[in-house]
Amino acid sequence: MEQREVQELLKEKLKEKGLKITRQRLLVLSVLEQNSGSHMTAEEVCELVSADCPEIGLATVYRALQLLWNMQLVDRISFDDGCVRYEIGHLLKGDTKHNHHHLICRKCNKVIPFGDDLLDDLERYIEGATGFHILDHELKFYGLCKDCIKKENSSPLSF
Amino acid sequence: MEQREVQELLKEKLKEKGLKITRQRLLVLSVLEQNSGSHMTAEEVCELVSADCPEIGLATVYRALQLLWNMQLVDRISFDDGCVRYEIGHLLKGDTKHNHHHLICRKCNKVIPFGDDLLDDLERYIEGATGFHILDHELKFYGLCKDCIKKENSSPLSF
DNA sequence: CTCCTTGCAAATTGTTTGCATACCT
DNA sequence: AGGTATGCAAACAATTTGCAAGGAG
C-alpha cells in the first residue's frame, strides 16, 4: 500500500464516521508512514509533526494516535519501558520492513525485530476453536541476545 | 513445581546474590502462587499480602515484583489498561491453569486466556536462526469476541 | 556490626481531561 | 451555523525514588 492510498483510506474512514479531516491527523499518520521501520512514542511523533505544524499539542497527538489505532490504521505495542509505541504495521504488509515480532533482551534491553507471517496458521486455528475474530497480534520473546550470552559466560552471573 | 519448591528457589537465588530473605518477598511470591490463574497488579498483590503483613508498603511490593521478574520467577504482562500485571507462569508448566496467550476484544476489552505450548517449535526455530536464547514469550491477539461480533451485526458500525 | 530492605511521602512520568477558541463541512 | 477538534494547562494514575529507621546475616 502506497502513502497516497493510506491517507485516502484515513479520509474515507473519517468521513464515514462524521469526523473531520484535519491537518494534524493527516500529519500524524504521515509521520508514522515515513518511519515505518520504527516503534514511535507519542512524544517522538509530536516532535516530528512539529516540523510541519509547530502549534500542535501533545494531547492532540495522543488523541490522533488513539483514533488511528481504533480505526486499525496503525498498530500499538509496548515494550517494558513504560510507554506505548505506535507503528504502521499490517497496512504495509508487502513492505520488507514490516516486522511484528520482537526479541527483547532482558539484559541490555535491546529490541530485535523478527519477520512476520509465522502465525497465520495459528490464527486460523484459534478462530475456528473459539469464534474470536482476530484482527491483529503482538508477539514478544524475552531472553538473552547473542552479545549478552557471550558476556554472561565470561563474567560472573548478575543482572 | 510445588509451592514449597518455588519458595526454596527464591531463597536460593537471593542467597546466591547476597540479598536478604525477607518476609515481604516471600509473601509476595506466595500470593502470586496462590492466584496462579490470574494476572495481578501490584495493588492487588499488596492488598492480599496485607492480610499477613499489614505494615507492607506499596513501594515494597513494586520492588519485590521487579526482583522476582528479574530472577525469572514470575512473568509480566500488560494488557492495554495502563498497568503492568504479574503472573506465576512458566514455573508451573504442568499446571492446567497456565495460559500464556490472550485474546483481547477491541470492543469490550474482555481478555480470554488461551492455552500455551503452541510456540515451542517456533521458539526453537528462532533460536537457531538468530542465536537469541529465549526465556519466555508473550502473545496477544486483538480482535472481536463472539459476543461483540453478534452485536456488531445487529447494530450500526461503531467503536 | 554492616549493609540490605522497608515504609512513608514526595517526585516523576506517561497519558487523559476540561474548557474556551478555532476549524471543518 | 453547528458540531468537531485543537491547544493549553490542570488533573490523574501508575510507578519510582530519597531517606531515616528497622532487620537480616
Domains and CATH numbers, chain A: 1-94 (1.10.10.10), 97-159 (3.30.1490.190)
For residue B44, give the nearest of B54, B32, B53, B52 by alpha carbon: B32
B71: its cell numbers: 530472577
Please tell me the predicted confidence (pLDDT) of residue B117.
Answer: 74
pLDDT, tens digit, for every residue of B110-140? 889 887 777 888 899 999 999 999 988 889 9
User: For chain D, which bases have at least one atom within 7 A of a protein Cβ?
Assistant: 3-10, 13-18, 23-25
Query: Of A114, A138, A142, which is closest to B140 when you measure between CB atoms?
Result: A138
How far is B33 from B104, CA to CA, in rounded Å? 24
Q: How many helices (H) and strands (E) does chain B have?
A: 6, 5
Inter-chain CB proximity A133 and B143 less than 8 Å: yes
Would you say residue B94 has pLDDT above 80? Answer: no
Find the mean pLDDT for residues B49-60.
98
DSSP state of A83: S
Please tell me the predicted confidence (pLDDT) of residue B37.
Answer: 80
> A2 to each of A69, A92, A95, how far by Cα in Å?
19, 8, 10
B79, closest residue in chain A (CA to CA): A78
Q: Are A79 and A102 in contact (CB under 8 A)?
A: yes
For residue A111, give the nearest of A1, A6, A37 by alpha carbon: A37
B76 contacts on A by Cβ (under 8 Å): 80
B127-151: b or e for each residue (b if 16 or more CB lie within 10 Å)?
eeebebbbebbbbbbbbbbeebeee
pLDDT, tens digit, for every residue of A28-59? 999 999 998 889 999 999 999 999 999 999 99
Inter-chain CB proximity A136 and B141 less than 8 Å: yes
